[in-house]
Each structure stands twice: as structure tokens, then as C-alpha cells.
Amino acid sequence: MKWKALAAAVLAGTMMLAAGCGGDSSSGAKTEGGEQNLKGKKLVMYVSFHEDTAKELADQFKKKTGAEVSFIRLPTGEALARITAEKDSPKADIWLGGTSDAHAKAKADGLTEAYKSPNANMILPEYQDKDGYWYGTYLEVMSIGYNENRFKEEFEPKGIKAPETLEDLLKPEFKGEIIAPDPRKSGTGLTFISSVLQSMGEEKGWEYLKQLKGQVAQFTPSGFAPAQKTGAGEYLIALNFISDQMLVSQKGQKIHSTIYKDAGWTLCPVSIIKNSADKEVAQAFVDYCLTKEAGEILVRTTNGVACNPDVAPPEGQKPLSELPLFKEYNMEKAGEDKQMNCDKFFAE
């Protein structure tokens, strides 16, 4: 107990010192391009989205500031477990990506720390934590995807209409052909059931989910797996994020994706891990993630929609304001109700 209090005191002291140094020209030195000079500094990240996205962000950040960036990709849950286990002596400075409910949990558990970024106004206020614990970088949106080849060969000749709405998924001809992520284990799965419950209302929502559950052949632990298995033709319909479906599609296994009405979504945030080794470089990285330039990298490599409204949407997709998203989706409530809703969903 005493130990912790001491650590907190030291921490507070360091923070004040750091704040005091903010105006100091030596630590916040700018390079010619108006960027901070962070040469010789090191940044370690846990990344919970695609590796190539992280690599490009890291490379650009290094080019601009001179800081050395190293990272390892860990799925959201693993990253959270790791940060929790390492909390007294963290081994990384930044947690980038994953779902916002996980970042909200990290905030609640005291694993991350607040930072008021000067670039905070670059992204829409609804996509950042009000206390500055995490900032959204891009949005992942739920979509109904189906395997084009299989649909044309096996379903279209029978006069079956392509599945594009949530109601379509309940049709008997699609029974056993749908694959979706497990809400207990995947942020994608949780986003789906929570957004359905919130948009349809408890009563109608549960009625829908109960019926849908009977249609789904498999609930996967990974949010990406449904797209991959649908691409391979094992199942006809994938219910997950559109960026995952587009990724498979671009590799040659065509998946037709539709963002349905009142689609659920999540953010891929960036957070600074508490007691990280080098706050200055971590904060500079957060600032960088919110810029238009970083947003463009994110959109190009993920097919997601940037939280920075100045960034153009990915090719063939509508801008954020025109997507049929369920705008009122409350992620914090989804996180709070997780256990209860999952138990109810899987109860017979």
C-alpha cells in the first residue's frame, strides 16, 4: 500500500516536472518541417490492428521525428491482458488499435493515462474519450458480406434474393450458411449484438437475436475468421466488419458487402499506457495519429473510415456522414452489459 502511494507521489512529481518542461525549448525542439525532434528516443507499441498499417504509421512517424519505433501486433484481448499483467512495470508506451470498449476498460482499470492532445479538435468529438484517455483513429463498420461466386451458382438460380438486410438473414434458405464472431470472445461479435439490442430496443432486439442464433452455423473466436471462411466458400454469409470483408475480397475471393441500416460500429483508438517510459514521444505519436496524413494511411491500408473528417473515405464507400450507421450506439453501455447480454444470448 505504502509502496503504491510512494510510486504515485513520484509519478505526480514527474508529471509536474514534465509539464513544467513543456515550454522549455530544448525538449520540445522543432525541426524545420515544424515537427518535434525526437531523435534517439524510443517508442514501443502494442498494436491491435493490421501489421502493415502500423508499419506505415511507424515509418512515417520516424521520418518526421527521428524517433525509433518498435511494435508487436497483439489481438485486442491479448494486448489488454498483457497491459494488465505488466501494469506495475509497463513494457510498452502506446496501445494502438483494437476496439474502443477495450480501451474504455483499460481506462476504467487505470491502465492508461489522460493526455489533452493539441490535435484533439482534428477528429470529431464523439470519437474521442471526453477525458482524453483515448482518441479514435478510424471507424470499423458492421456489414453483411456474401460469397459472390457461391451465391450466383447455388442461390440465384433458385430465385433467391441476395442477403442485404438484417431481416434477410432470417430466411430459411440461409440457415447454417451464416458465420459470425462470438460476442463473448470478439469485439466484433459484441458490437453486433449490442448495436442490434440498442437500435431495435430490448424486446424486438432479443426476439431478432434469438431467431438469428438458430441460423448461424458457427460463432468464431476471431472477428476476422468469418470473412476468411466466407471468402473460401465454406459459408455463404459473413457477419463482421466491412474492412475485413474487403481485405479478403481484394485478394481475389470476391465478397459482396453491404452496410445494413443502423449498422453497428466501433472505433480503433490510440491510448498512452500509464507509467510509460517516455511520455514525450508517446504524446507526439498520439498527436500524429490524429492528423490528416495519418488518417490517409489508415484509410488506404484498412478500408476503414477515418475519424478525421478531412480524410476522404475509401474508394467505393460513402463518406462518414452518409453511411447508414446507428449513430446513437453507446459503446460504454455495450461494455457494461457485455456479461449479461452474452449470457442471455447463449442461454437456451
Partner 1 sequence: MNEQHTGHEHTGWQAEMKVLLREPPLLISITVLFLLFGLFIIYPFIKILMVPDAEHWMRALTAKEFLEVFSHTLFSSLVATTTAIIFGFIFAYAVNYTNMPGKRFFQIVALLPTMAPSVVTGLAFIMLFGRRGFITWHVLHLQTDLYGPVGLWVAQTIAFFPLAYITISGVLKSISPNLELAAQNLGARGWYLFRTVTLRLATPGLASAFLLVGINSLADFGNPMLVGGNYHVLATEAYTQVTGAWDLPMGAVLSVFLVIPTLLVFFVQRYYLEKNSYVTVTGKPVAGLIRVTAGPVATWCFFAFCAVLCAAILMIIGVVFLFAFTVAFGADYTFTLQYFREGVVQSKVLLHSWSASMITAATTTILGIALAFLTIRKHFPGRTVMDFLAMLPVSLPGTFIGLALILAFNEAPLELTGTMAIIILGMTLRQLPVGYRQAVAGLKQIDASMEQASANLGANSFTTFRSIILPMLKNSLSVSFVYAFMRSMNTLSTVIFLVSPEWNLASINIMSLADQGFLPTASATAVGMMLTIYLTFGIVKLILRDKINIFDL
Residues forming the site for partner 1 (CB under 8 A): 44-45, 50-51, 70-73, 75-78, 80-82, 84-86, 88-89, 91-92, 102, 105, 182, 184-186, 217-219, 221-222, 224, 227-228, 232-235, 244, 247-248, 251-253, 338-339, 342, 346
* Region label for 159, one of left (φ > 0), alpha (ψ between -120 and 50) or beta (otherwise): left
**Tally of CA atoms within 13 A in the half-sphere of 247 that contains its CB:** 22
**φ, ψ dihedrals at 132, nearest 5°:** 80, 20
* Minimum CB distance to partner 1, residue 133 (Å): 17
Question: In the complex, what is the shortest distance from the CB of residue 146 to partner 1, in angstroms, rounded to a whole number?
Answer: 14
Nearer to partner 1, 204 or 251 (CB): 251
CB closer to partner 1, 22 vs 221 = 221
Task: Find out whether 101 and 129 touch, Cβ atoms under 8 Å.
Answer: no
Residues making up the chain, counted from first to last: 348
d(C-alpha 223, C-alpha 240), whole Å: 7
CB closer to partner 1 out of 184 and 300 = 184
Closest distance between partner 1 and the C-beta of residue 168, in Å? 21
CB atoms under 10 Å from CB of 66, counted, come to 16
Q: How far is the CB of 217 from partner 1 (least distance, A)?
A: 8
Q: Which of residues 119 and 253 has its CB atom nearest to partner 1 in the complex?
A: 253
| Residues pairing with 181 in the sheet | 220
CB of 85 to partner 1, least distance (A): 5
Alpha-carbon span 35 to 31, nearest angstrom:
5
Cα within 13 Å of Cα(56), Cβ side: 14
- Cα(193)–Cα(223) distance, rounded to whole angstroms? 13
Q: Do 161 and 252 form a contact (C-beta atoms < 8 A)?
A: no
Kindly tell me which of 256 and 292 has the beta carbon lying closer to partner 1.
256
Min separation Cβ 130 and partner 1, Å: 22
The minimum distance between CB 319 and partner 1, in angstroms, equals: 26
Nearer to partner 1, 78 or 293 (CB): 78
Q: Which is nearer to partner 1, 330 or 339 (CB)?
A: 339
> What are the respective helix, strand and coil percentages of the chain, to the nearest 5?
45, 20, 35
